[in-house]
Structure 1
């Protein structure tokens, strides 16, 4: 097994999009990408000797950016930046030059929620409901009552309509309208991205939980809705037709539904035990059930993973049989080629695994993963000792585990990439765009 030393980090890296899961009673959130970077030794390759790429990173441009408040996304050849300090403005920058293509006011929006067909969708009409949980713990529920569509080419507002974005399907968007408390649905609509026109609508009251397949690069062709009483419907987003109906265990605060491929997974935690049940998505026929300590399920490529806070196990999707188990593991994420990336309990060491067998293929030791919008991992970052005060960037082959040092960039809190274009939020609160060549 190969060992690769990537330096030292103290906190876990950015979660990839593939790790996101829809949760009951909650909106899809823009995650906070927080990485604490500390002094480390230089990045080494699989042989233990430095192997830098002769082409060094070139910073192209940067703009002010507050990690706690602002947001950005890559849209085609542009990077869209939502800047709250500049009067709540959405600005499109040329991804290579930083030149401003357009800038528009988006007064009551809280950030991009989705993009497609030359349209960026913004959450609007944000409502916060404060409440007290049964145990007396105060909590709040935040959701959006409206969605605003902006043309990515011009910044022109295309439409504004009721409903919170559920998902983008091709050149359409699924919207869900909540009740006054934001806890149960009133209706679901499919609208066209370019003009907001309604394709179909369903008065679906009482829905408290919903799910589509959120695997990066997968077209969601099934929508599952569940009421508080457990009444489930499987809907085809294309035309709104109902494919299957059934009854699942009654929903609660500690329950969740997810969709992976042709299966629906229901996680239910009661009295300190979690039950994970798999159903066929087109019939809602129960396939298997696994009971374990408190935790939940999530997709791991060819297998489904189940975590309990202390370990993660991989299970056969068809039968639920446990194929492997990793103790002391904080998280597991899918990679290309049927492989997984596993993090240890404190996020300081990462291992490449075979997803089907759990066999360790390479030890990445320390280093922070950099993910793209499709959940692919091709780069790792770490702070440097020589030269001090920089962040090293290394390319990673997720199949072989080979690591190649590409060079260094300004000290970064967090980074994302699309191809060889690296976007980082720096420690001095700038959004820096770098060409990795």
Structure 2
């Protein structure tokens, strides 16, 4: 294995030109001053420390993932319908250190990228084939296989796993299994319908089944007990397209018959009583944003609604997408003038633009509460990495990575990116 030369953070890394001010929202002068402070903070930042790093060796076509401070390398599938060999590595403590192999095991086959989740002393390796998922549970310490089942895993309260999307949706039931053994705890038919679930921290505590025909059921995720039933055809709209939970609301989406648009119907989770309806265009979406609901993805910008009444609370026409909500701040984006994304921080209660952070490519991460990172190209072709901090409304420079192509993802403060050679590089980013 070789060492990645991280190089030095040079003074000639070019920050973005000052972004244009937002349209008339809130207090323009205050917004402009906040944006200027953010740019000065960005320009004056220097790395806190050279991060630990390593080059990840692997066969051509290997996929690499990071979870729980370890690296997992999955070799390409050797034959159609077979398995993929997965090797777990301990990461070094210093820059350019060697990865230490821990164990090697058989993982799920399939095409494309694998996913890795560490949970309760086990590592779950997820593969996909023809749109269906399969999960293999391995002992984190030894790599010994505990079980292999169809479906995508989501941790539930009480040490269980919800498995779904593992087969024919017309017959495949929703199942909750025991994490350590894979033995079923309970199951229920989906009946060509949809499912939604509510998170409590990193686990889910309630599951809602919404069939095309039959009753809506709210179930306890741990035991499968039916807590509540309701109307099987909310609003009389056939052909459910999706469902989700936001706070104490169930949001059911169905086609509204207007040029590909859809209607969202909100129900209270305590009684499944209909609260309100909202029609959205094909390019719009509805999601939580702090204590409100936000409509995004449209030319008119972002707008926030009161969850209880769906009455408008604010509109900010400058931004179209929400990347993350952190307390009373939102990290939002709009399409940049020349490719990429322009990012900003908004006040969640008012929609006021607190600071514009300039152009960054957000890094995919594995959890809603993990650190947020962004990347951008330097003039010399390196990849500048910054921590995106909505609470402080800044993008804090961390380091410049040479010879990196992109395709980055993170887990905690571990960053994984593909290098120009096609191999992967790993860095543990400083705080």
TM range (shorter): 0.7 to 0.9
TM-fit CA distance, 1:122: 3.6
CA offsets, 1:342-379, max 9 Å, x none? Answer: 21134431111011211100001212223542234443
Number of the residue aligned with 2:91: 95
> Structure 1 304/113 Cα, relative in aligned 2: closer, same or farther at 3 Å?
farther
Number of the residue aligned with 2:205: 221
1:384-423 maps to which residues of 2 (within 5 A)? 384-385=378-379, 388-410=380-402, 411-423=404-416
Number of the residue aligned with 1:302: 291
**Higher relative contact order, structure no. (Cα contacts within 8 Å, ≥ 6 residues apart):** 1
Distance 1:112 1:264 in 2: 28
| Unaligned ranges ≥5, structure 1 | 9-43, 129-141
CA offsets, 1:36-61, max 9 Å, x none? Answer: xxxxxxxx953277323253433521
Number of the residue aligned with 1:383: 377
Aligned with 2:121 (options 118, 121, 128): 118
Question: Structure 2 length normalisation: TM-score?
Answer: 0.77
Distance 1:257 1:66 in 2: 40
> Structure 1 349/267 Cα, relative in aligned 2: closer, same or farther at 3 Å?
same
TM-fit CA distance, 1:114: 4.1
Does the 8 A contact of 1:351 with 1:361 survive in 2? yes
Distance 2:47 2:154 in 1: 42
1:63 aligns with 2:63: no
1:194 aligns with 2:180: yes
TM-fit CA distance, 1:148: 2.5
| Unaligned ranges ≥5, structure 2 | 1-13, 18-36, 93-97
CA offsets, 1:18-39, max 9 Å, x none? Answer: xxxxxxxxxxxxxxxxxxxxxx
Does the 8 A contact of 1:328 with 1:345 survive in 2? no
Distance 2:291 2:360 in 1: 25
TM-fit CA distance, 1:427: 3.4
1:84 aligns with 2:87: no
Aligned length: 375
TM-fit CA distance, 1:242: 0.6
Number of the residue aligned with 1:367: 360
Number of the residue aligned with 1:281: 269
1:320 aligns with 2:320: no
Question: Structure 1 length normalisation: TM-score?
Answer: 0.76
TM-fit CA distance, 1:307: 3.0
1:72 aligns with 2:60: no
Distance 1:250 1:62 in 2: 56
Q: Tell me, what secondary structure is at the counterpart of 2:293?
A: strand
Aligned with 1:260 (options 225, 229, 246): 246
RMSD of Structure 2 on Structure 1 (CA)? 3.1
Number of the residue aligned with 2:197: 212
